[in-house]
């Protein structure tokens, strides 16, 4: 086969391409229709495309030299010196293992549902960029999370699409004899086997396990079919596989892991398995092994509300852990149960709490923003004698969310390697106002076109006629102030707050001299009727004559939709009930693209906000005020800020039509926030504060 094609295939096999704009542009250029058809999956693209045709295209479009330089860049990325090498030491073998129930890396790999997964994915990417000796461990869901389709009635419906592992940038893990690596866990009355997939995330290996193999019963093959699907018992089985199976995989690979990072409590059963291994290896009792393992576990919590925590009934715990407790740990299952019992045996309200298990077994614990650290310290008052709950504020993997226009501008002014240069953000104000304004318009044009295409496709799907389809070109306006709101539709995030005073909102939207438009997107959990109701309410507003084509909803919020939105929106809106948003990360993604934030002072924005950077929505701190009234008052503050500050500023133009004051805000926002609220900074923090402090 043609060498260039082999090179392309090699580049496609490592999802480093997902944060390399040159790679994505090249895949697209080969054939934009095929690229879209593949679901932005170059492995599928290069597997399915006719090889002669591919050679022909490379020749005809003269892409040869670009393939060569892409390949060289990729090879260089894998071997160059890194932050970790320079700061700590060089090592070939991983010493940090990161556990998470979901990973959001790129749109074709549907192993995530939302923010937690995207954060784990960004953690992998930055670990690779910084050269951390780290592996990720998770589950390979057959169907992943659902694809959202809003039906004619405006109601969310869920489709489950098969992940075609053979056509994804993922490969079955095999030993030196080419035999698939397998590990097992024991479930009541049987052994369940797991196969393992490797996702190459730059330098980092992410291992995903699943039960879909012949060794298992038909029922057991379905344990890992859906993310957050099924009942409590299925979740128990998935979490045993993630935690216990994950540790067995590490043993099987013979890795000498020093630090174990539990991203949320789903993987906390790993604590038991580590203790068990230590007891066997050193022939010591449970309590001593527990003390030892404690120092190398790191637990990151993501929920500030007790109701959000993963719990199991005692019956279920006993069913799954009796034999493990008695045979492996030499104790009664009741004793083991106390590891995750919030009430420490004080009453009969027995629940096994995964966060408590993780807390009990981790020296390092952190919340994901400064405020969330405080809230967590109040929620779980830990004994004074132990390490207290700290915080490391979340970030985003900036290179994954910038548009190619943004990336090109950063290259032009600074360096091709802008991702690795923390200082460039401080120099961002050197860029001229005109160029920043052009960037904003380009990013927004791209977003508006994306929305038009998506919505047109949707109308065709719903059987719209020609007249209706012609209307698609009048959806949104790239010159108009554009506000984005996209996230999970959980009730605390208040997706419909902006509609509270509908007449006031209509006035804002319909003002001809200073118009405003809104783009919404987001999924509700299949079992969350409350969340689904919010979506249906928004859909009905998008069909209102005064708002249609100015307030739009994009189906199936995923990484692709998210990227377009954070590239193009002028304002990113976030209005959760404080302090329920532990961090929130989507608002961080708009920064480098020149978007600005308007948010409740919750999560990350509580520490990021200052009047130069963006806007706040006043939140009512007085707990004696009813939720209903809080919503009302906070909505008022939202309207006031829009009407009095944001809209006039956006439309205040100089003689060339450029909003200088607005651009001043963009410059401050990028300068002050882009470097800090990135996973480059976040992963360095995890490294300095936790990973490299492990005893």
Ligand X SMILES: *Cc1c(COP(=O)(O)O)cnc(C)c1O
Asked if 302 is part of the footprint of ligand X (rule: CB under 6 A), the reply reads: no
Which one of 54, 118, 185, 538 is in contact with ligand X (CB under 6 A)?
118
Asked if 484 is part of the footprint of ligand X (rule: CB under 6 A), the reply reads: no
If the CB atoms of residues 40 and 221 are measured against ligand X, the closer one turns out to be: 40
Q: What are phi and psi of 209, to 5 degrees?
A: -105, 150
If the CB atoms of residues 114 and 131 are measured against ligand X, the closer one turns out to be: 114
Question: Contacts with ligand X in 347-386 (CB under 6 A)?
Answer: none
- Determine the length of the chain: 695
Asked if 487 is part of the footprint of ligand X (rule: CB under 6 A), the reply reads: yes
Closest-CA residue to 567 (of 399, 424, 430)? 399
In terms of DSSP H, where are the helices of 363-501?
Answer: 370-379, 404-413, 433-461, 466-470
Question: Per CB under 6 A, which region of 87-95, 384-392, 414-422, 551-559 contacts ligand X?
Answer: 551-559
Residue 118 Cβ, how far from ligand X at the closest point, in Å? 4
Asked if 115 is part of the footprint of ligand X (rule: CB under 6 A), the reply reads: yes
- Spatial contact of 675 and 422, defined as CB atoms under 8 Å apart: yes
Q: Which long-range contacts (CB under 8 A, 24 or more apart) does 232-237 make?
A: 232/312, 232/313, 232/316, 233/316, 235/310, 235/312, 236/312, 236/316, 236/317, 236/320, 237/187, 237/192, 237/320
Site string for ligand X, 552-581 (x = CB under 6 A): -----xxx--x-------------------
List Cα–Cα distances, 504 to 365, 640, 644, 645, in angstroms: 45, 10, 13, 16
If the CB atoms of residues 104 and 265 are measured against ligand X, the closer one turns out to be: 104
Asked if 608 is part of the footprint of ligand X (rule: CB under 6 A), the reply reads: no
Query: How many residues lie near ligand X (CB under 6 A)?
Result: 13
Residue 589 Cβ, how far from ligand X at the closest point, in Å? 6
Asked if 403 is part of the footprint of ligand X (rule: CB under 6 A), the reply reads: no
Asked if 585 is part of the footprint of ligand X (rule: CB under 6 A), the reply reads: yes
Output the 3-class SS for 251-320: HHCCCCCCEEEEECHHHCCHHHHHHHHHHHHHCCCHHHHHHHHHCCEEEECCCCCHHHCCEEEHHHHHHH
Indicate the Cα dihedral angle 206, 207, 208, 211, nearest 10°.
180
Asked if 594 is part of the footprint of ligand X (rule: CB under 6 A), the reply reads: no
Asked if 122 is part of the footprint of ligand X (rule: CB under 6 A), the reply reads: no
Residue 366 Cβ, how far from ligand X at the closest point, in Å? 17
Residue 173 Cβ, how far from ligand X at the closest point, in Å? 27
How far, in Å, CA of 511 to CA of 650, rounded? 14
Question: Which residue shows structure tokens 């893990």?
Answer: 173
Question: Per CB under 6 A, which region of 41-49, 113-121, 266-274, 436-444 contacts ligand X?
Answer: 113-121
Bridge partners (DSSP) listed for residue 486:
521
If the CB atoms of residues 149 and 316 are measured against ligand X, the closer one turns out to be: 149
Question: Per CB under 6 A, which region of 124-132, 293-301, 376-384, 585-593 contacts ligand X?
Answer: 585-593
- Do β-strands 516-521 and 364-367 pair in parallel, antiparallel, or remain unpaired? unpaired
If the CB atoms of residues 289 and 566 are measured against ligand X, the closer one turns out to be: 566
Question: Which residue shows structure tokens 């892991």?
Answer: 257
If the CB atoms of residues 221 and 302 are measured against ligand X, the closer one turns out to be: 302
Asked if 490 is part of the footprint of ligand X (rule: CB under 6 A), the reply reads: no
Q: Point out which residues bind ligand X (CB under 6 A).
A: 114-115, 118, 487-488, 557-559, 562, 584-586, 589
């Amino acid at each position: 086969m043609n060498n260039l094609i082999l090179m392309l295939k090699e580049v496609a096999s490592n999802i480093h391409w997902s944060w390399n704009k040159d790679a994505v542009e090249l895949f697209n250029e080969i054939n934009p229709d095929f690229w879209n058809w593949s679901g932005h999956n170059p492995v599928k693209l290069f597997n399915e495309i006719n090889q002669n045709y591919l050679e022909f295209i490379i020749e005809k479009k003269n892409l040869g030299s670009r393939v060569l330089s892409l390949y060289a860049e990729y090879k260089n990325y894998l071997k160059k010196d890194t932050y970790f090498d320079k700061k700590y030491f060089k090592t070939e073998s991983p010493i940090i293992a990161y556990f998470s129930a979901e990973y959001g890396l790129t749109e074709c790999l549907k192993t995530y549902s939302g923010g937690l997964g995207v954060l784990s994915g960004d953690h992998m990417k930055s670990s690779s960029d910084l050269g951390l000796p780290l592996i990720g461990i998770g589950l390979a869901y057959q169907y992943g999370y659902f694809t959202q389709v809003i039906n004619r009635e405006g109601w969310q419906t869920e489709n489950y699409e098969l992940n075609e592992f053979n056509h994804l940038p993922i490969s079955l893990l095999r030993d030196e004899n080419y035999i698939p690596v397998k590990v097992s866990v024991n479930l009541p009355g049987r052994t369940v086997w797991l196969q393992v997939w490797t996702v190459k995330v730059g330098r980092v290996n992410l291992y995903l396990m699943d039960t879909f193999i012949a060794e298992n019963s038909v029922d057991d093959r379905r344990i890992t079919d859906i993310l957050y699907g099924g009942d409590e018992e299925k979740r128990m089985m998935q979490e045993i596989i993630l935690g216990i199976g994950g540790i067995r995989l590490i043993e099987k690979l013979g890795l000498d892991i020093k630090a174990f990072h539990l991203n949320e409590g789903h993987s906390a059963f790993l604590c038991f398995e580590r203790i068990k291994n230590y007891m066997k290896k050193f022939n010591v009792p449970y309590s001593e092994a527990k003390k030892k393992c404690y120092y190398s576990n790191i637990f990151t919590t993501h929920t500030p509300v007790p109701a959000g925590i993963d719990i199991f009934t005692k019956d279920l715990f006993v069913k799954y852990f009796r034999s493990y407790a008695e045979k492996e740990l030499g104790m009664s299952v009741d004793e083991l149960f106390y590891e995750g019992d919030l009430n420490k045996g004080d009453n009969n309200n027995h629940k096994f709490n995964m966060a408590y298990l993780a807390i009990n077994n981790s020296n390092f614990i952190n919340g994901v923003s400064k405020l969330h650290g405080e809230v967590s310290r109040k929620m779980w008052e830990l004994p004074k004698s132990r390490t207290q709950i700290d915080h490391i504020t979340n970030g985003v993997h900036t290179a994954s969310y910038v548009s190619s226009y943004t990336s090109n501008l950063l290259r032009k002014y600074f360096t091709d390697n802008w991702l690795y240069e923390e200082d460039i953000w401080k120099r961002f104000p050197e860029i001229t106002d005109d160029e920043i304004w052009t960037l904003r318009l380009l990013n927004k044009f791209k977003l508006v076109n994306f929305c038009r295409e998506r919505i047109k496709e949707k109308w065709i799907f719903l059987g719209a006629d020609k007249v209706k389809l012609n209307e698609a070109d009048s959806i949104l306006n790239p010159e108009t102030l554009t506000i984005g709101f996209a996230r999970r539709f959980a009730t605390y995030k208040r997706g419909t707050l902006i509609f509270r005073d509908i007449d006031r909102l209509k006035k804002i939207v319909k003002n001809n001299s200073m118009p405003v438009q809104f783009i919404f997107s987001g999924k509700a959990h299949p079992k969350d009727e409350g969340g689904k109701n919010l979506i249906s309410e928004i859909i009905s507003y998008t069909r209102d004559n005064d708002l249609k084509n100015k307030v739009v909803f994009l189906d199936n919020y995923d990484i692709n939709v998210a990227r377009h939105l954070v590239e193009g929106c002028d304002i990113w809106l976030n209005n959760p009930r404080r302090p329920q948003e532990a961090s929130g990360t989507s608002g961080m993604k708009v920064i480098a693209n020149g978007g600005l934030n308007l948010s409740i002072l919750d999560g990350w924005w509580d520490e990021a906000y200052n009047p130069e950077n963006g806007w706040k929505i006043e939140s009512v701190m007085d707990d004696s005020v009813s939720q209903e009234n809080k919503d009302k008052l906070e909505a008022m503050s939202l309207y006031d800020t829009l009407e009095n500050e944001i809209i006039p500023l956006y439309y205040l133009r100089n003689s060339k039509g450029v909003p200088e004051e607005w651009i001043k805000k963009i410059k401050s926002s990028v300068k002050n926030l882009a470097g800090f609220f990135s996973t480059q900074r976040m992963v360095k923090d995890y490294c300095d504060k936790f990973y490299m402090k492990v005893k």
